[in-house]
Amino acid sequence: MPKFAANLSMLYPELAFMDRFAAAAADGFSAVEYLFPYAFSAADLAAQLKQHQLQQVLFNAPPGDWDAGERGICCLPDRQVEFREGFLKAIDYAKTLGCPRIHVMAGLVPDGIDPERLLATYISNLKWAAEQAGLENIDVLIEPINARDMPGFFLHRQDQAHEIVQAIDAPNLKVQMDLYHCQISEGDLAMKLRQYLPTGRVGHLQIAGVPARHEPDIGEVNYPYLFALIDELGYDGHVGCEYRPKRGAVADGTSDGLGWFKALTWH
Ligand SMILES: O=C(O)C(=O)[C@@H](O)CO
Ligand SMILES: [Mg+2]
């Protein structure tokens, strides 16, 4: 069975962020991920990980002005200095948290800029980021995100992401394959896993039910089948549980929806 990580940005919305570590550990998780650590000190976050014996497996580099609607700045030509400063801050957090990978969001395609310039900026920033992160044995990940949830995002498809990763050819630059986004954008999940996991270029997996992004046992995707396939293909990384609990922010709403996880992991 794959190893699962609780995504603390989406799971446990009923709790304050700092209380979500304890809740994830109590539910049987041994690893966590979340979008952004920057509202907290790295030392406080590291203390939570230590106290609850959790491994931090992923977080995101600063995405620009998230509250204003930005979704990453890596492809934006006029934001290179900010991207690089933010990425170095992410490396500092990763070192304190013992986190081996950082997700870099590409950004929304702005009007009126030549797509070739966006791609050139994206590639140049990713090359630089992979070099910096490589000095600390950290992987850099890029994630295709579906256009229904994030219209105008630069990166929507697995083949596009893999083409970029291959072109840059840095050993620590990989794809974050979120099966929720992949199902919405392109489908054929089992064949996509068979195509991409053996390349060694998938650095992290994530899951959610489709179409509503609730628990993985709600919706059109047969996850037990895919978990067996992920094992068969020899993937030994984590699978991030990045979904919005169906019961929402009510007491025990997240834990009550974890029957699918407990059935797989509790013996
Ligand atoms: O939304 C997702 O999917 C993610 O993995 C986030 O890191 C970016 O929105
Ligand atoms: Mg994701």
In order of their start, the domains of the chain are 3-265 (3.20.20.150)
- 215 catalytic? Reply is no
Q: Is 33 in the pocket of ligand 1 (CB under 6 A)?
A: no
**Mean pLDDT, rounded, for 139-159:** 98
pLDDT in tens, 189-218: 999 999 999 999 999 999 999 999 999 999
The tokens describing 99, both together, are 């986190």
Residue 113, pLDDT > 90, answer yes
Q: Is 204 in the pocket of ligand 1 (CB under 6 A)?
A: no
> Band of the pLDDT at 267, cuts 50, 70, 90?
low
Q: For residue 181, which atom of ligand 1 is closest to its CA?
A: 3
Residue 2, pLDDT > 80, answer yes
Cβ proximity of 180 and 207 under 8 Å:
yes
- 14 catalytic? Reply is no
pLDDT in tens, 51-101: 999 999 999 999 999 999 999 999 999 999 999 999 999 999 999 999 999
Percent of the chain with pLDDT over 90: 96
CA distance 86 to 258: 34
Percent of the chain with pLDDT over 70: 99
Give me the pLDDT at residue 57, please.
Answer: 98
Mutate to test the pocket of ligand 1, among 8, 59, 60 (most ligand atoms within 8 A of CB): 60
pLDDT in tens, 247-264: 988 888 999 999 999 988
Cβ proximity of 93 and 134 under 8 Å:
no
CA distance 142 to 122: 11
CA distance 17 to 102: 20
Q: Return the ligand number nearest the Cα of 177.
A: 2
Helix runs in the chain, H state only: 20-26, 42-51, 80-97, 115-134, 158-168, 179-185, 189-196, 223-232, 253-256, 259-265
Q: Is 103 in the pocket of ligand 1 (CB under 6 A)?
A: yes
Q: Is 242 in the pocket of ligand 1 (CB under 6 A)?
A: yes
Q: Return the ligand number nearest the Cα of 149.
A: 1
